[in-house]
Amino acid sequence: MVHWTLDDIPCDRFDAAKLDPDILAIVKAASLVEQNGADYARYLHGVFAGDTAFQDAATQWGTEEIQHGQALGRYATLADPSFNHADACARFTAGFRVDLDAQASVRGSRAGELVARCIVETGTSSYYTALGEATDEPVLKAICRRIAADELRHYKLFLTHLDRYLQEEGLGFWGRLGIALGRIRESEDDELAMAYHVANDLGSYDRRRASEAYARRAYSVYRRHHVERGMAMVLKVVGITPNGRLNRFATGLAWWGMQRRVERWTKAAA
């Protein structure tokens, strides 16, 4: 079931004066990562061989992720006609490639793979919610609202399959926590750094510099309530009922860490 199409985006309402260049830079990067949904769908088909119900869901999921890439890519070109989305996607996949022929999850089990997928969808659903609230540009707001709703549905989809695999395979609290924390840390690895570098033509590739330049801009769109909502979603994945006190404590730590890092990167960039 398709929830929206590219034709639903009100491009005629675009207002260049309301678009922050830092936000455009991270939108360009996101358009490349989202477009990579086709490769991830193929990877998931290999990992979940024989589970046709999940494979069908992964196909639909991949189609929606590609549509996110198309919507954001088209938007980036509207805002900056020199940006060629197809060209940038080709350069991105030349520098970063998912293992297309994997027969087993890099997380050690199918349940582990689903924990990682839930963490990714937690990140994207809170990110697009935050981005949509941070920008005043009406077309980007409209795109982010639609994508954020899809990402939340994706989280629920993977969580449903995770419950099934936890009953079949089992994966304890510490195993789930380790995978969740590992996947959160990976957000500063090569994928987003490479996407930001390629999408913004940064010259020779310096992973750390590109990663910090991306994360400084991306973290800046968050407000505490986005982190709190994301934290509740993460706690649920690792099997903890997100009560108010625990969530507030974990959110406080994460929020403090994000703020310190944005300050440090901003100073370094200056």
Using CB under 5 A, list all residues that contact Fe ion: 34, 65, 68, 121, 151, 154
Nearest distance, CB of residue 68 and Fe ion, angstroms: 4
Nearest distance, CB of residue 183 and Fe ion, angstroms: 14
Do 125 and 151 contact (CB within 8 A), yes or no?
Answer: yes
Nearest distance, CB of residue 65 and Fe ion, angstroms: 5
- What b/e string do you get for 62-90 counting C-beta neighbours within 10 Å, with b at 16 or more? bebbbbbbbbbbbbbbbbbeebebeebbe
Residue entry with tokens 């290999």 = 46
Nearest distance, CB of residue 88 and Fe ion, angstroms: 17
- Residue 79 CA to residue 153 CA, distance in Å, equals 28
Nearest distance, CB of residue 96 and Fe ion, angstroms: 16
- Of residues 39 and 261, the one with the C-beta less far from Fe ion: 39
SS3 121: helix
- Residue 231 CA to residue 134 CA, distance in Å, equals 20
- Of residues 63 and 243, the one with the C-beta less far from Fe ion: 63
Task: Give the helix ranges, DSSP H, for 80-223.
Answer: 85-95, 110-134, 138-168, 173-186, 190-199, 207-219
- Of residues 68 and 107, the one with the C-beta less far from Fe ion: 68
Q: Which amino acid is at 130?
A: A
- Of residues 121 and 137, the one with the C-beta less far from Fe ion: 121
- Of residues 68 and 217, the one with the C-beta less far from Fe ion: 68
